[in-house]
Amino acid sequence: IDGKSLLPLLTNPAGRVRDWLPLFNFWGAQSAQSMAVVSTEWKYIYWYYGGNEMKPNEELFHLTKDPIEMANVAGDVQFAESVGIAHSAYDIEIAAMKSKVLMGHGHEPYPVLFDRTVSWETKEPLLKLAKGNGGEEEAGGVAKPNKKEERKKKKEAKPTR
């Protein structure tokens, strides 16, 4: 089974099973999808989308000092060391994701899409393969309804006799 054993927490509830926890958002419009890693002190988020005049972006929040995540310190030189540590934790999770991705579920492109070291030009062609579960796909940065929604609208638009 994939994952970490939580058994050590039974004997030491204050213990830790991992230093960083990955969080994935595959849902909805591609421009809203992201991957993050979270520790007890930091949350690092990478937004991969670079279409429709948007650029890939990263955020770093100091959770102990900013629990409601209002101050992104990713670009602040004062936090360069913390950004580097978060990058390392994130890159480890990307490597793990690349080695474990399941084929045939529509998630195959995400290890590349979420890789912060891969260019947008390499990522953009993969968008048509990505399977966002929110019913929206983006083409050229514009969200459009899924096929089921389009059929429903066509059926509603037909005049009845």
Tens digits of residue pLDDT in 29-69: 888 899 999 999 999 999 999 888 888 999 999 999 999 99
Query: In this predicted structure, what is the pLDDT of residue 133?
Result: 46
CA separation for the pair 76, 80 (Å, rounded): 7
Query: In this predicted structure, what is the pLDDT of residue 132?
Result: 59
Strands (E), 1-141: 21-25, 34-38, 42-47, 57-62, 136-139
Spell out the alpha helix ranges (H) of 26-119: 80-100, 110-113
Query: In this predicted structure, what is the pLDDT of residue 18?
Result: 83
pTM: 0.76
**Residue 26: which of 58, 51, 48 has the closest Cα?**
48
14 DSSP 8-state letter: T
Q: Which residue has the higher pLDDT, 1 or 81?
A: 81
pLDDT digits (tens, 9 = 90+) for 101-158: 878 777 788 999 999 999 999 998 888 877 654 444 454 444 445 555 556 556 666 6
Exposure pattern of 124-154 as b/e (b: 16+ CB <10 Å)?
A: eebbeebebeeebbbeeeebeeeeeeeeeee
β-strand 136-139 against 57-62: which pairing, if any? unpaired
Asked whether the beta carbons of 50 and 124 are under 8 A apart, the reply is yes
Sorted by sequence, the CB contacts under 8 Å of residue 124 that are 6+ apart come out as 50, 51
Spell out the alpha helix ranges (H) of 12-126: 80-100, 110-113, 120-123
- Which amino acid would we find at residue 113? L
